Amino acid sequence: MEIKILELNPDSVKILFVGESHTYMNALTHEILTDTRVDMASYNPKFDFTDPELFVSTKDGVEPISVIIDAARRISADCAELLEAIAQS
Protein backbone atom coordinates (compact mmCIF):
# COMPACT_ATOMS: atom_id res chain seq x y z
CA MET A 1 0.00 0.00 0.00
CA GLU A 2 1.32 3.41 -0.92
CA ILE A 3 0.25 6.51 0.99
CA LYS A 4 1.26 10.14 0.76
CA ILE A 5 0.78 12.46 3.70
CA LEU A 6 -0.52 15.65 2.13
CA GLU A 7 -1.04 17.64 5.31
CA LEU A 8 -0.08 16.94 8.92
CA ASN A 9 -1.04 19.11 11.88
CA PRO A 10 -1.04 18.35 15.61
CA ASP A 11 -4.74 17.43 15.52
CA SER A 12 -5.45 16.60 11.87
CA VAL A 13 -4.05 14.79 8.88
CA LYS A 14 -4.87 14.44 5.19
CA ILE A 15 -3.52 11.32 3.49
CA LEU A 16 -3.69 10.19 -0.14
CA PHE A 17 -4.17 6.42 -0.53
CA VAL A 18 -2.69 5.50 -3.89
CA GLY A 19 -4.71 2.88 -5.75
CA GLU A 20 -7.07 2.02 -2.90
CA SER A 21 -10.74 1.25 -3.43
CA HIS A 22 -13.87 2.70 -1.91
CA THR A 23 -14.41 -0.59 -0.08
CA TYR A 24 -11.22 -0.25 1.94
CA MET A 25 -11.70 3.48 2.52
CA ASN A 26 -15.27 2.96 3.75
CA ALA A 27 -14.13 0.29 6.21
CA LEU A 28 -11.21 2.39 7.47
CA THR A 29 -13.27 5.56 7.82
CA HIS A 30 -16.03 3.68 9.65
CA GLU A 31 -13.54 2.15 12.07
CA ILE A 32 -11.85 5.51 12.71
CA LEU A 33 -15.23 7.06 13.53
CA THR A 34 -15.79 4.50 16.30
CA ASP A 35 -12.87 6.05 18.21
CA THR A 36 -14.04 8.57 20.83
CA ARG A 37 -10.82 10.56 20.32
CA VAL A 38 -11.92 11.46 16.78
CA ASP A 39 -13.67 14.72 15.98
CA MET A 40 -14.20 14.00 12.27
CA ALA A 41 -13.15 11.45 9.67
CA SER A 42 -14.05 11.35 6.00
CA TYR A 43 -12.60 10.41 2.68
CA ASN A 44 -13.07 12.20 -0.58
CA PRO A 45 -14.03 9.88 -3.44
CA LYS A 46 -13.81 12.52 -6.17
CA PHE A 47 -14.12 10.03 -9.03
CA ASP A 48 -13.75 6.26 -9.38
CA PHE A 49 -10.46 6.74 -11.21
CA THR A 50 -8.81 9.06 -8.65
CA ASP A 51 -6.99 8.10 -5.49
CA PRO A 52 -9.02 8.75 -2.32
CA GLU A 53 -7.93 11.28 0.31
CA LEU A 54 -8.61 10.56 3.97
CA PHE A 55 -9.06 13.45 6.41
CA VAL A 56 -9.01 12.85 10.16
CA SER A 57 -9.24 15.43 12.93
CA THR A 58 -8.92 14.55 16.59
CA LYS A 59 -9.98 15.94 19.95
CA ASP A 60 -7.80 17.21 22.78
CA GLY A 61 -4.50 17.15 20.89
CA VAL A 62 -4.55 13.43 20.11
CA GLU A 63 -2.04 12.61 17.38
CA PRO A 64 -4.12 11.70 14.28
CA ILE A 65 -1.70 9.17 12.79
CA SER A 66 -1.95 7.04 15.95
CA VAL A 67 -5.75 6.99 15.58
CA ILE A 68 -5.43 5.68 12.01
CA ILE A 69 -2.90 3.04 13.09
CA ASP A 70 -5.21 1.89 15.89
CA ALA A 71 -8.15 1.63 13.48
CA ALA A 72 -6.09 -0.38 10.98
CA ARG A 73 -5.03 -2.76 13.76
CA ARG A 74 -8.66 -3.28 14.80
CA ILE A 75 -9.61 -4.07 11.19
CA SER A 76 -6.69 -6.51 10.97
CA ALA A 77 -7.78 -8.22 14.20
CA ASP A 78 -11.35 -8.54 12.89
CA CYS A 79 -10.04 -10.14 9.69
CA ALA A 80 -7.86 -12.55 11.69
CA GLU A 81 -10.90 -13.60 13.75
CA LEU A 82 -12.90 -14.20 10.58
CA LEU A 83 -10.13 -16.30 9.04
CA GLU A 84 -9.87 -18.36 12.21
CA ALA A 85 -13.63 -18.92 12.33
CA ILE A 86 -13.64 -20.04 8.69
CA ALA A 87 -10.71 -22.38 9.28
CA GLN A 88 -12.48 -23.99 12.25
CA SER A 89 -15.75 -24.60 10.42
pLDDT of residue 46: 72
Q: Which pLDDT score is estimated for 21?
A: 86
Q: Is residue 48 over pLDDT 90?
A: no
- pLDDT above 90 (res 63): yes
- The phi and psi torsions of 61 (rounded to 5 degrees) equal 70, 15
> Which pLDDT score is estimated for 45?
75
Task: Give tens-digit pLDDT for 26-35.
Answer: 999 999 999 9
Q: What is the pLDDT of residues 4-20, one digit of tens each?
A: 999 999 999 999 999 98
The domain spans of the chain are 2-88
Rounded to 5 degrees, what angle do the CA atoms 14, 18, 22 make? 85
Backbone angles phi, psi at 45, to 5 degrees: -90, 75
State the fold for domain 2-88: Gyrase A; domain 2 (3.30.1360)
C-beta atoms surrounding 71 within 10 Å: 22
Query: What's the rounded mean pLDDT across residues 57-71?
Result: 97
